[in-house]
Amino acid sequence: MSCEDSRSQNSLMAKFGIPILENKLNLSEIKISSLEDDLERNSDLIVAITIRNLNNTDFIRIASRIRTYKFYESIEFRNQFTFRSRSMYGKNKTEYQKVIEGWGDYFFYAFESEDRSKIIYYKIIDLRSFRWKLLNYYSKILKQVENDKEKKWNGKASGIPTKKGNNDSTEFNYFNDKHFEDCFVCKAGI
């Protein structure tokens, strides 16, 4: 992503994404996270929560992705969400690795308008529900494969992530919305 794309998406996040999240998740004071939180803890946005009676602070971590309008135009892309599963740099953990390891509470997945001036559609995914469903689903699939050793299993069961590569040597795991509907806090067009 170019610096201009990054600035444009940060501007959209500040102007539209943060107010949507504060409203839908009943949170306040959402801030853009540090680079370290982003790279290590799947946190593009962060909310500090003071836990009363424990004299402790915890954090709600929110990952985000804003896709360009061309992806919104495609029903296929509009009805899925993705996590980077291979980086061109290879040094840092990918979004998908961080999610599976337990980092991140929510994922704000949005599409920008054609003129890149606003967010026109978004979904908020509860990552705790997503992790539970994904891991529970995988355990069922492994049992199915084990019980069906005689047949050649093609791995195309619903809900399993599909990898898709980009021209820049990155890869994404993408998930169809219909298999994870119970993980959405909300979905809405603006």
**DSSP annotation string for 72-110:** HHSHHHHTEEEEEEE-SS-SSPPHHHHHHTT--SEEEEE
CA distance 138 to 113: 36
Closest by alpha carbon to 44, among 75, 88, 4, 83? 83
For residue 50, what are the β-bridge partners? Answer: 57
If the chain, 190 residues long, is cut into consecutive pieces of 10 residues, what is the mean pLDDT of each piece? 54 86 87 84 78 68 93 93 81 85 93 93 95 81 60 49 72 88 89
CA distance 12 to 66: 9
Total domain count, the chain: 1
Within the chain, what is the greatest distance between any pair of CA atoms? 58
Question: pTM, whole model, 2 decimals?
Answer: 0.81
CA angle 117-107-87, nearest 5°?
90
CA distance 154 to 165: 20
Region for residue 63 given its phi and psi (left: phi exceeds 0; alpha: psi -120 to 50; beta: otherwise): beta
CA angle 55-59-61, nearest 5°?
175
Domain that holds residue 130: 3-189
Q: Cα dihedral sign for 179, 87, 106, 98?
A: positive
pLDDT for res 3 = 43
